[in-house]
Amino acid sequence: MPLVDSVQFKNYRNFTDFEMKDLKRVNLIVGDSNVGKTGLLEGLVTLWGDEQQFKALPNTFRMNYGNDITTKENFWSWLYPEKNKSLSVELASHYIGSQDHEVHRVRFRDDFTRYKEYVTPEKITNAGSGRFNVVPAKVYEEYFHRDFLKINILPIGIGDYEKQKSLFNKVSLMKNGESQLIDSLSVIEPRLNGLRYLEAPPSTQPMVYADVGLDYKIPTTQFGHGFTRSMEMLSNLILSGSDIMIADEIENGIHYSALGSVWKAIIDYAVKNDVQVFATTHSRECIAAAHEAMEAQDNYELNVIRLQNRKGEVVAINHDEEDIKTAFDLNLPLR
């Protein structure tokens, strides 16, 4: 089961009173440009991320420029609607699997830096009564019998092989890391028996080589785009041990023909490791690939969430399996 079943934002950026309900294992966020897709992901990072992830936000999904004062003026202040700091920003999410109505709220202070102290988990012991027990973050684990959520923010785009090698080496050093990666990649390359970091003469640079049952090993650079991108994403996920994966424009840098493989690998990993995915996309092919990969699973757990401006308010519209299938059958818009 997914970990989070709903998210609420109040007075955050252009989300005046916003709610995403009935969240699933994989949540693909779509909508017109500038409707707030990236802002939504930033809200999720603010809500669930650690201090480092929060502080890195100005550069995570956007182009940032200037010193701290410029960044404060041009990024942090915009977390308030129209920079109106008199408003009380409220970000909250509900977790399922708990008998209580568990809420996790975030509030900001003026300097936006001492974030962690202002994460205020709350537990509504009786959802109907509206009474809150406010719990300090430091006793969160004791109170809820679980850790804070760990999130993994997927780097935008593809392509740095040095980074991929480094990720693989780190995964290899983890207990069961390598076998977990190979197991997940086997979904898209069933012949894969193993991966090795080798310097194979006459080549003078070490690379990651794959054993696919042949007499020789093949450098992973010779595999398709879907394989290498999946390897990078999965390595990131395994290393972070995350509960939640967040990706902006997930299709970026992936050829459309490779999207099926990438989604197959992500969904298989997410289902087996109880990871929840939040990703934005502009691509119909990307939605189609995720839909097809999810159809192959025992349970269909894909939700396409369209963000839309309705009379000045951003609203989230869920599209379930039936909606997605009909949209593809009849060539209706989904983005």
* Chosen residue from 308, 312, 313, 314 binding other proteins by CB under 8 A: 308
Tokens describing residue 202: 């006459």
Tokens describing residue 258: 């490779």
Position 306 contacts other proteins (CB under 8 A): yes
Residues sharing a CB contact under 8 Å with residue 113, sequence separation 6 or more, in sequence order? 55
| Closest distance of CB 246 from other proteins, Å | 25
| Closest distance of CB 92 from other proteins, Å | 23
Which of these segments, 15-23, 200-208, 248-256, 301-309, binds other proteins (CB under 8 A)?
301-309
| Closest distance of CB 285 from other proteins, Å | 13
* Chosen residue from 86, 129, 204, 331 binding other proteins by CB under 8 A: 331
| Closest distance of CB 321 from other proteins, Å | 10
Comparing CB distances to other proteins, the nearer of 131 and 311 is 311
* Chosen residue from 17, 32, 100, 117 binding other proteins by CB under 8 A: 32
Instruction: Give the x-and-dash track for 163-192 against other proteins (CB under 8 A).
Output: ------------------------------
- Half-sphere exposure at residue 88, Cβ-oriented, CA atoms within 13 angstroms: 4
Position 74 contacts other proteins (CB under 8 A): no
Comparing CB distances to other proteins, the nearer of 147 and 322 is 322
Which of these segments, 108-116, 139-147, 187-195, 315-323, binds other proteins (CB under 8 A)?
315-323
Residues at the interface with other proteins (CB under 8 A) = 32, 284, 306, 308-311, 317, 319, 322-323, 325-327, 329-335
